[in-house]
Amino acid sequence: MLSRLPTNLAEVLKHHRQMVFEMEPASQVLSATAMEELLQGIVHLEFRIRLNLFSSFGICCVFIKTNGNSAINQNCSYVSNPGFPNSYTDNTAVTYTVNKLSSAVCLIRLDFDTFTISGPSDTAETLGGVCPDTLDVTSTSGSAFPIPQICGSNSGQHIYVDVSGTGGTGGATLGFTFDNTITNPTRQWDIKVTQIPCASDNAYSICVRRTSGFCCTQYTPCVDVGPPAFSLSLGDGALTGALVETSCTFDYVLIDGSSSSCLPGGNTGQTNNKYCGINLNQSPLAVNVPICDCSAPFRVEVVTDALPDIAGGNTNTVALSRGICFQYMQIRCP
């Protein structure tokens, strides 16, 4: 909730019958009831997420869909179960459709602010289990990356959906189905839907849980018969090997305190943090070598921006980076 709202806001806004602002993600949500009371008497006002107006105050507005079979055509929207924040006790399937705003959108991020539906009775990792209630997320933009069924408790988690194909059409569907044999179900969901432009920067971490009795995690580029499975910041295309540290300025992988040797208790030789280029190696060589991290927590951070590293300023010979694909394994303690 917003901590402060000017008492004269409605009066000020009456003089501005129609306002359309750039889409910008909001960090706070004003309840629908409070917004309705605040904007009484305003004839027409279209908010696009955040308004910073006049006397240094602002309001944050979001679009909320609680009904099934709803279409989402705005950025930074929420899909919630019917009756939210009360639980959804019906067994009727609920489906939401997210339509891409334009061809400039490549990803849809789903933040599970609240997400609790029935999960498998057997939660052992090695045994798996069948989801009685399910969320199926499907890209309708020709993505080749299927998303597994989601169930159970996932509040605080998020996923990305690839919608880079089909130009400005398509998007994603979110389909909930339920097991009608469950008595007194307590299902709740409140999911933030954000559409992300294709040229957006990336800065995200991938964590590996340390297994008891194992001291290091070793990373190796995936076996690939096509283009290299590790390629970041290729510049003008003349690069033929690995780069590390200060040579990696815009796009890189960050593995703190890592090296090519696995020494439980910490690497005492040469260590690196940043890796880029066309090979994974702590030396500037044209060959991949395994890289080890022996200092928990085990984390790989991927950083990219919308700009290529251009050697010599020659924009006509810029090579496209493909990204990364790592295989990893944990190394036992001695």
**The residue to which tokens 């490549």 are assigned:** 106
Say which residue, 25 or 294, is predicted with more confidence. 294
pLDDT of residue 267: 55
CA 247/CA 233 separation, integer angstroms:
9
State pTM to two decimals: 0.62
The answer on pLDDT for 236 being more than 50 is yes
Which three-class secondary structure state does DSSP give residue 75?
Answer: coil
CA 255/CA 238 separation, integer angstroms:
25
User: Which residue ranges form the domains of the chain, and what is each CATH number?
Assistant: 9-61 (no CATH), 64-197 (2.60.120.290), 202-332 (no CATH)
Q: State in Å, rounded, how far the first CA of the chain is from the last one.
A: 52
% of the chain beyond a pLDDT of 70? 67
- Strand runs labelled E in 152-201: 158-162, 171-177, 188-197
Q: How confident is the model at residue 15 (pLDDT cuts 50, 70, 90)?
A: very low
CB–CB of 260/216 below 8 Å?
no
CA-closest candidate to residue 207, choices 64, 330, 30, 83: 330
Phi, psi of 76 (to 5 degrees): 55, 50
